[in-house]
Structure 1
Amino acid sequence: MFTTPHTRRVVAGLAAAGAVVLALTGCAGGSGGDDAPVSEITVVAANSPWVEGVKTLATKYKDETGITVNIEAYGNEQLNDNYKVKLNASSADFDVMAFQVQDVMREFSRNGWLADMTDYVASDAAWNWEDFQPAARDAVQLDGTVYGVPVMTERQIVYYRADLLQAAGMPVPETLDELESAVAALHDPDAGMYGIAMRGSRVPLVTQLSSFLYSYGADFQDADGNASVDTPEAVEAIEFYGDLLSNYGPPGVTNMGWVEASALFAQGKAAFYIDADSQAYTFLDASKSSVVDTVGFAQFPAGPAGSHFYNIVPQTVGINEFSTKKDAAWDFIKWVTNEENTTWLLANETVPGARQSAWADDAAVASFPAGLVDIVRDVADHGVGHDRPRLEQVAAAREIVGGPVITAIEGGDVAEAAASANSQFQDLLDSEK
């Protein structure tokens, strides 16, 4: 099984409101940038499997160092609201802060709320910053400045019905062309089987479009940060995504996010499903899935530019710029993200960390599906550290960028729609300069 019952309960509670404040004991002796001794630090984070694991590790941390770690855990929206209130007031009430990279890092760094951790991560060769997945390291940096250490990762993968492929005598698709052929062959709506299920709703689909863009040699923005959703490669990727859903997807696909699309696959009504690997636990839970014994996991197929899929960081840990205990905060971060503890979290709490060495440990990944482990072990040459446009106004950008895909699903002029979206997207980017 992919997750323990304990972890599934944690995942199910990610969006829970209310703060859970726990006084735990932990870490190595450190200072706040001067010689004053530190007796405690405070960590603020979202409810997550990582936080659950840290609660356990904190006792060991205290035994080693004697420093108390106070953990405040919130639902995601409440967490960000809490940050904005306190950081606007330059609060030093907390030291270590976990955050969602793609949602807030640009805003928080521009406001001067995140400490520069570049020197910290390079300061200890034994801790080994290079052991972290390249895409994950890239994700926590802006203009060469490191703002955090990645503690959880997530990738786009292909879920497929192994029994259907086997019955049809078809191999698991390794290219997008092979994927389309397999989807078409297994599409049988009269029998209640659709070739593929994916997000088709305008905003939710943008993150899943990303890997198609990358594998066609495109991206939301070019190397200079300018809008690039109207390039020939981007238009081809958008058309491919739209055609898959238009020709082989379920009815009403433009109203589907991950909840609706994944439910179809879990009910055995789709041959393929492409989305984040964090959803694997759903399909392996007999109480929620009819495909427990037939689901397979495959790497995102290669397009004209190869297989390139998002490998994002849904949670990273950084340091509050206003903390008076930055060195002690780093001591804790370094300890909890070292190889030993990252491997322990992977093995005992199924926390998908970013260290390559942890995923290489056969014992640590024993509870994960072999197919998924193979994908993560191979991620270094394929992973891209973002799954959406890179700017502060990311919600507005997703609304714009999703438009051409809807046009593709509905059979309209994709090139024209992409050109219009690109102009609007560029205006949004220019507004942040």
Structure 2
Amino acid sequence: MAKLHVPTRRHILGAGIAAGAALTGLSARSGSALAQGAVTPPAGMANVNWRKQAGTTLEVNLIRSPRGETLQRYQKEFEDLTGIKVNSEQTPEQQQRQKTTIELSSGKPSFDVVHISYHVQKRQFEKGRWLADLSGFLADTALTPPDTLSDFAEAGLTFARSDATVGTLPFSVDYWIIYWNKELFAQRKLNYPQSFEEMVAAAEALTDARSRTSGFVARGLRNANTPVWTSLLLGYDVDSVSNGKLNTDTPEAIEAAKLYQRLMTKSAPPGVSGFNWAECQSAFLQGRVGMWFDGVGFAPPLEDPEKSRVVGKVGYGVMPKGPKTRAAATTGDGLGIAAASAKKEAAYLYLQWATSREMGARLLQSGSGVPFRNSVLRDPAVRQGVKMPGEWVDAVAQSAPISRLALPVIIPVTEFRDTFGVALTNMISGADPAAELKRATEEFAPVLERSERA
């Protein structure tokens, strides 16, 4: 079974973590210098020749997410540092995956830098040889500090490497947690659930049609919903695919699907079959949802008074224990360079900046994500600047040692999500879970078999 290992709670937490503290440490030093008119290289990268590609214009394709927003927010710093103009766009994840696949397979992508979801696109991108090998850039001391690779967590390097090549630089790891509304729980005199059974019971106890309150929300939209089910399956100590074999119509898979169906039909908001993460987040922000299950990086708006009605009321909980084990479903993303790009060196400088310690500190401190860089997680100054509540950091720390991949690392992972996503959406409409999984498994099995032979 695939497991990720990142620094533990002891590495992330330390004396002085304060909710609401101003940004400090790495990112604050950079921001302060820029405010005074200086252009300061990221920490540990003073010897990099940042101006080598001045005058170049880069096209950057980002996934719409808090991580993508962070890169765009600080993009001007990179432009000032390098003299490189950046045109970047964020696209919702499903559309971004379709766009990048079509363009990269054509051999003429419109972008130089691409934001990649490891859990969805890694094997597909490797098979297509769509990304430039970064090994030469990593070995060039004029472009890369010598300790760069050793600073990334092994999980990130496992994602980034392919045989003898390095196709991406690791950016952010995302654990799936339960966001819960403490006020609604208190009204019903409920405690945070420690098991799947308790989670279902709490969801149904919190659901109240008169007050239009829903006990639970998660992704119901086809394709986007598949990681919810596979995450529940991990609680039965089963991966959806292992050693090339589908475990998607086993008794455990059926029980996980029944659990998904029950939560999404008895406790979720109306229209949930059309919900992706953004719709789930919006519903939770309104204060009428008891629990929301999704990645830890979607937290910042919940603590923003201008966007949220639940500021100060949100709990951040590690995934409850399933019938067999407690597992935190895990995804991750990175940044790569299109093999067809004529601006690879300039693009690599963007990757160096985007995955730098400063940007990693900003992800962690704002709650937008968890960087793969060990030096960021261990920096006391960064820890002191974490803006999210201590419970959010606890959820990150406690999820790390029980992390397991949310989706199988296979080439046709998009087809996997599509096929089983249809089955899950049908279940929300009342279809039988066993029958739906049997049909989806039979439909997808030859697709997986062909990909394994390729």
Q: Assess same fold via TM > 0.5.
A: yes
Q: What is the CA distance between 1:322 and its match in structure 2?
A: 5.1
Q: How does 1:143-292 map to 2 (within 5 A)?
A: 146-224=166-244, 226-292=245-311
Match of 2:328 in 1: 309
Secondary structure of the residue aligned to 2:210 is helix
Check 1:232–1:143 CA distance in 2 against 1; reply closer, same or farther (3 A cut).
farther
Check 1:328–1:113 CA distance in 2 against 1; reply closer, same or farther (3 A cut).
same
- Residue ranges of structure 1 left out of the alignment (5+ in a row): 5-23, 32-36, 63-67
Q: What is the CA distance between 1:356 and its match in structure 2?
A: 4.0
Match of 2:312 in 1: 293
Letter in 2 for 1:398: R
Q: What is the CA distance between 1:228 and its match in structure 2?
A: 2.2
**Which structure is higher in RCO with an 8 Å CA cutoff and minimum separation 6?**
2
Match of 2:446 in 1: 427
Letter in 2 for 1:342: G
Separation in structure 2 between the aligned mates of residue 253 and residue 87 of structure 1, nearest angstrom: 34
RMSD between aligned alpha carbons?
Answer: 4.0
Match of 1:10 in 2: none
> Normalising by structure 2, what TM-score?
0.72
- Quick check: 1:53–1:345 contact (8 Å CA) kept in 2? no
Separation in structure 1 between the aligned mates of residue 398 and residue 177 of structure 2, nearest angstrom: 12
Q: Report whether the alignment pairs 1:318 with 2:339.
A: no
Secondary structure of the residue aligned to 1:174 is coil
2:89 equivalent among 70, 74, 93: 74
Check 1:153–1:198 CA distance in 2 against 1; reply closer, same or farther (3 A cut).
same
Q: What is the CA distance between 1:212 and its match in structure 2?
A: 0.9
Q: What is the CA distance between 1:179 and its match in structure 2?
A: 1.4
Q: Percent identity?
A: 25
Letter in 2 for 1:317: L
Q: How does 1:288-367 map to 2 (within 5 A)?
A: 288-314=307-333, 316-321=334-339, 333-334=351-352, 337-339=355-357, 342-343=360-361, 346-347=364-365, 352-361=370-379, 363-364=381-382, 365-367=385-387
Q: Which moved more, 1:115-124 or 1:194-203?
A: 115-124
Separation in structure 1 between the aligned mates of residue 401 and residue 236 of structure 2, nearest angstrom: 16
Q: Which moved more, 1:202-211 or 1:353-362?
A: 353-362
2:77 equivalent among 49, 56, 63: 56
Secondary structure of the residue aligned to 1:288 is coil
1:399 equivalent among 418, 421, 428: 418
Match of 1:369 in 2: 389
- Residue ranges of structure 2 left out of the alignment (5+ in a row): 1-18, 23-38, 63-67
Match of 1:19 in 2: none
Q: What is the CA distance between 1:373 and its match in structure 2?
A: 1.6
Separation in structure 2 between the aligned mates of residue 254 and residue 263 of structure 1, nearest angstrom: 15
- Quick check: 1:214–1:308 contact (8 Å CA) kept in 2? yes
Q: Spell out, residue by residue over 1:302-342, the C-alpha distance to the aligned partner (whole angstroms, 9 max, x if none).
A: 2134332333224x222444567867865764565344553
